[in-house]
Amino acid sequence: MLTIALPKGSLLKDSIDRLKSIGFDFSAFLDSSNRQLQILDASGSAKGLLVRAQDVPVYVEYGQAQLGIVGYDVLREKQPKVAHLADLGFGGCRLSVAVKASSSYRQPIELPAHGRVASKFVRCAREYFRELDLPVEIVPLYGSVELGPITGMSEAIVDLVSTGRTLKENGLIEIAVLFESTARLVAHPLSYRLDADGLHDVVEGLRGTVKTPVLQQ
């Protein structure tokens, strides 16, 4: 039986909608009264696992799920050994450097050497500042990262930004974008090569749900 890891949070509803469009119905995960973390789809042909977004590639890498849907930001940070199959085109956001609007910093290279940058994306932040050849201390935070500059604990943050509203309401501004992120389809490499449980047909079905932009003539 095909097992699919689905991410809790902002990507869940769109993930379920995409799967429903190709015949897999995991809508029960959207029921607030439902506490199950593992369910069969409505037809009984596939199993869904509801896990933290950061854990989706872990379940796929270790073979407990053959497929998973997860943000590109998680893949860049964790660098799991999974097959990257498709950009599903929803859940758009960006990983950005932000500082207090009242500060003098307007680009990352202006941050002080050996200053502090707070982030839950430790690997991505470290690689970014290494490429800038700017030595900084990356402070791991997994809650309200915006408090770093507000309290003076850090000069900047590296965090996901969608609308920018949270930054604005906390007196912060973006000064650089590391990369754009959207929902991605990933698979267990061996399962995909062997086409276990008709995996190729499912993948092609999901690829077919991606809307291709119409180019202007």
Report the distance separating Cα 24 and Cα 22, nearest Å. Answer: 6
Q: Is residue 201 part of a domain?
A: yes
For residues 130 and 196, state if they share a domain: no
| Pairing, β 83-87 against β 46-51 | unpaired
Q: Is residue 217 part of a domain?
A: no
Across the range 21-39, mean pLDDT stands at 93
Task: Give how many domains the chain has, as a whole number.
Answer: 2
For residues 7 and 51, state if they share a domain: yes
Report the distance separating Cα 31 and Cα 191, nearest Å. Answer: 30
Given pLDDT bands bounded at 50, 70 and 90, which one contains residue 211?
confident
pLDDT tens digits along 2-13: 999 999 999 999
Report the distance separating Cα 100 and Cα 149, nearest Å. Answer: 6
Q: In this predicted structure, what is the pLDDT of residue 157?
A: 98
Q: In this predicted structure, what is the pLDDT of residue 54?
A: 95
Concatenating the DSSP letter of every residue in 69-133 gives EEEHHHHHHH--S-EEEEE---S-EEEEEEEETTSS--SGGGSPTT-EEEES-HHHHHHHHHHTT
CATH of the domain at 27: 3.40.190.10
pLDDT tens digits along 162-204: 999 999 999 999 999 999 999 999 999 999 999 988 899 999 9
Q: Which pairs with CB-CB distance under 8 Å and at least 24 residues apart come from 134-139?
A: 134/108, 134/109, 136/111
pLDDT at residue 50 tops 60: yes
Instruction: For residue 82, give its domain range.
Output: 2-91+182-207
Q: In this predicted structure, what is the pLDDT of residue 212?
A: 61
pLDDT at residue 214 tops 80: no
The count of residues in the chain is: 217
Instruction: Supply the pTM of this predicted model.
Output: 0.91
For residues 85 and 189, state if they share a domain: yes
For residues 134 and 195, state if they share a domain: no
Tell me the pLDDT of the chain averaged across its residues: 94
For residues 107 and 167, state if they share a domain: yes
CB 75 within 8 A of CB 81: no
For residues 126 and 187, state if they share a domain: no
For residues 85 and 102, state if they share a domain: no
Q: Is residue 170 part of a domain?
A: yes
